[in-house]
Amino acid sequence: MLLQQEYRENNMQNLRKKTVKNGEAAVSPVVGVMLMLVVTIIIAAVVSGFAGNTVSGKDKAPSANMEFHIRNGGDNATSYFTMKVLGVSEPIATKNLRLITSWTTTGKNATSLDYGNATIGGSTTYSGKANVRVVGETSAYTGNNITVPTGYGNGVTEWANDTYHPLGAQWGHFSLSSGTMTFDKPGDYGLTGCGSGSVCSNYNYSDNHAGVDAMESILGYNWTYLRQGDTVNVRILDAQSGNMIVDQNVVVER
């Protein structure tokens, strides 16, 4: 009897051991699969987040608050294009920007033969592409060819004026920061003014006008047809993202 009892007890112990071992063998693969799933989900989330940040960073354009003034005063001394940065989300390198202008006037400033006819104008400024030939300016770093608008103040590394346009003050070589300004006007090429209140066709650039000047470059050919009350659409395109950071209608002053 004792031998039979011991045999039964040994069998029960062996059975318990096998049950535990079999249970452990069943649980172990499930835990492993669950751990693999958790790790896979975490890795996917990290990769997705990184990719999302990369894409959004590439597509996100900086923002800017700008103030523009365009004046056609009838002569080169009283006509200008100015831009002032009131605020930016971050400094914006002009090397990545395109300045685009477009306008239409009904010819109210033209001769009696053209009076009432629509004139369409505008231009696009690309960074690094010279758009003005400066006659007699030997101090410019790139010879007589420069790129306007011309920058002043914050974000501009070199000082400039009407007759001196160093590279650091040319469009494409400075950054737009709060307080940055540009100022450009027609070249002094023997222009004939229209006179206050008179009707005229153009500034009548004389023969010594050897190339486009700053106003022609920024506003396009026949910009002199613009008069007080006309509207010029001014846009600034961020070439990296393809987004417009500025889109304003500017009323021409007199």
In angstroms, rounded to a whole number, what is the distance separating the alpha carbons of residues 212 and 147?
11
Residue 96 has pLDDT above 60, yes or no: yes
Amino acid at 182: T
The structure tokens 């400039």 sit at: 160
Backbone angles phi and psi of 35, in degrees to 5: -65, -40
Mean pLDDT of 28-47: 79
Cis peptide before 91 (omega within 30 of 0): no
- pLDDT number for residue 201: 39
Residue 57 has pLDDT above 50, yes or no: no
In angstroms, rounded to a whole number, what is the distance separating the alpha carbons of residues 98 and 121?
17
In angstroms, rounded to a whole number, what is the distance separating the alpha carbons of residues 7 and 250?
104
The overall average pLDDT reported for the chain is 77
pLDDT category of residue 180 using cuts at 50, 70 and 90: very high
In angstroms, rounded to a whole number, what is the distance separating the alpha carbons of residues 93 and 155?
9
Percent of the chain at pLDDT > 70 equals: 67
- Which distant-in-sequence residues (6+ apart) come within 8 Å of 202 by Cβ? 222, 224, 225
- pLDDT number for residue 188: 59
**Is the four-CA dihedral 89, 90, 91, 92 of positive or negative sign?**
negative
Q: Are 192 and 204 in contact (CB under 8 A)?
A: yes
In angstroms, rounded to a whole number, what is the distance separating the alpha carbons of residues 98 and 238?
7
- pLDDT number for residue 176: 96
Tell me the CA distances in angstroms from 31 to 21, 36, 37, 39, 128, one per residue in order: 15, 9, 10, 12, 62
**Is the four-CA dihedral 156, 162, 165, 170 of positive or negative sign?**
positive
Helix (H, G, I), strand (E, B) or coil at 38: helix
Lowest mean pLDDT among 80-89, 165-174, 199-208: 199-208
Mean pLDDT of 99-126: 76
- Which distant-in-sequence residues (6+ apart) come within 8 Å of 102 by Cβ? 120, 121, 122, 232, 233
pTM, entire model: 0.69
Which residues partner with 253 through β-bridges? 71
In angstroms, rounded to a whole number, what is the distance separating the alpha carbons of residues 192 and 205?
7
Tell which residue, 110, 121, 64, 82, has the closest CA to residue 247. 64
pLDDT category of residue 238 using cuts at 50, 70 and 90: very high
In angstroms, rounded to a whole number, what is the distance separating the alpha carbons of residues 204 and 194?
9
Please tell me which residue, 225 or 60, carries the higher pLDDT value: 225
pLDDT category of residue 193 using cuts at 50, 70 and 90: very low
pLDDT category of residue 133 using cuts at 50, 70 and 90: confident
